[in-house]
Amino acid sequence: MTKKVAIVTGSSSGIGFETSLMLAENGFNVYATMRDLSKSEKIRKIADNKKLPIEVGQLDVTSEQSVENAISAIVELEGQIDVLVNNAGYGLMGPAEELTIDELREQFETNLFGVLRTTKKVLPVMRKNQQGTIINMSSIVGKVGIPTMSGYVSSKFALEGLMESMRYELEPFGIRVVLVEPGVIKTNFLNSSVFAKKALEETSPYRTLIQKVGEGFSARFENGALPIEVAKAILQAATSTKPDIRYSVGNDATSLLDARRKMSDADFETFFKLNFLGEKKILQIKGGEI
């Protein structure tokens, strides 16, 4: 098959938006999907002006019927799906104690179950064609815990485990599974995040910690990598016959993962507090300072 068909979820902005454009500019017929089609004007306009092979469609990963309708229509038109980019997701902010079960359930419904729901729908056609690539938008916080982001972090940890396991299951069918782990990326992530209601109350015992983490991340977003850098990693995975299992994106992601691998749990926790929570204690490791 010479043509290649890609589906990208969460394409209205940020990483999904840039990924849809990049795949289309590199030979893919792209179905840029999103929950809210009222946000599709920008990508439609660029696709029209550049004459890119992009079709915009509605897909809400939390809805079984929406996923069924969208994927079935694409399969009927194309007869194949070569790449699925599971990008749709959002951040839930707040310490674990102040998250309601419903808030946490909604986070997992999008970030984990939504990914699995969409993946399960494309697998029969990939298996029939004996090839395909599933690219999942994880995060550096799929490997490293972050305070006051317990819900989001746990959804990404779960995604990592799910997809690492599925790699073994799908490899015999020629289907590759990839995890992309960005650090801080300049998107509207913070503005689109949902805050636990209790965490917003003045009486929250975690208020100082929440402010400290928020200030730290706001500063890091100013120096974060651009979404197009993540799109480049996705393109590399989508076009490789033997893609890596994981792609980290951003200097912060690379350095943090490197530190996590080299340090004991106790040393890494101290390192994290120093660098991300502003604690003054210097961590001594093998005669040096970090």
Q: Where in the sequence numbering do the catalytic residues fall?
A: 152
The Cα 177–Cα 163 span in angstroms is: 7
3-state secondary structure of 90: coil
**In the 8-state DSSP scheme, what is residue 193?**
-
The Cα 47–Cα 44 span in angstroms is: 5
**In the 8-state DSSP scheme, what is residue 26?**
T
Instruction: Give the DSSP per-residue string, 100-167.
Output: -HHHHHHHHIIIIIHHHHHHHHHHHHHHHHT-EEEEEE--GGGTS--TTBHHHHHHHHHHHHHHHHHH
**In the 8-state DSSP scheme, what is residue 6?**
E
